[in-house]
Amino acid sequence: MRKKLLIWLSIFLVIAIAIGGYRYKSNLEKKEMVGEAVVISQEYIRAHYGREFILKSYDVLPGWITSTIFIEGYIKDQEDAAISITYNYREKKVENVGGPAWFIDSEKPGLD
């Protein structure tokens, strides 16, 4: 009886360690994806709108749903100007930018 209990506890421990290691790796990959997404998004805002984007929050959707990161922030020195960015992490590109009309209308023409 004691030997069976020890075997089951060992199996449980191995599974728990494997799951924990996977989640840790998954969180690291997520942080790297978000870091890259923020840098590319900031460069996009700088190139297309001539402004500095400040990150406020983000949401990474699971890969089995879509390959999208929703990035929220604002324009430097204009915290009331909320900007939202839709970023595709598989294609590594900004798909959409939303914000106040005055900001969206300030996009430089011919940059795509």
The Cα 51–Cα 84 span in angstroms is 14
Q: What is the pLDDT of residues 69-78, one digit of tens each?
A: 999 999 998 9
Quote the pTM value: 0.74
The Cα 97–Cα 48 span in angstroms is 10
Residue at token pair 């300030």 = 106
Which residue has better confidence, 100 or 112? Answer: 100
pLDDT score at 24 = 44
- Residue 49: helix, strand or coil by DSSP? helix
Q: What is the pLDDT of residues 8-59, one digit of tens each?
A: 766 766 665 555 544 444 777 888 999 999 999 999 999 999 999 999 999 9
Task: Delineate the domains of the chain, giving CATH numbers in brackets.
Answer: 31-104 (3.10.450)
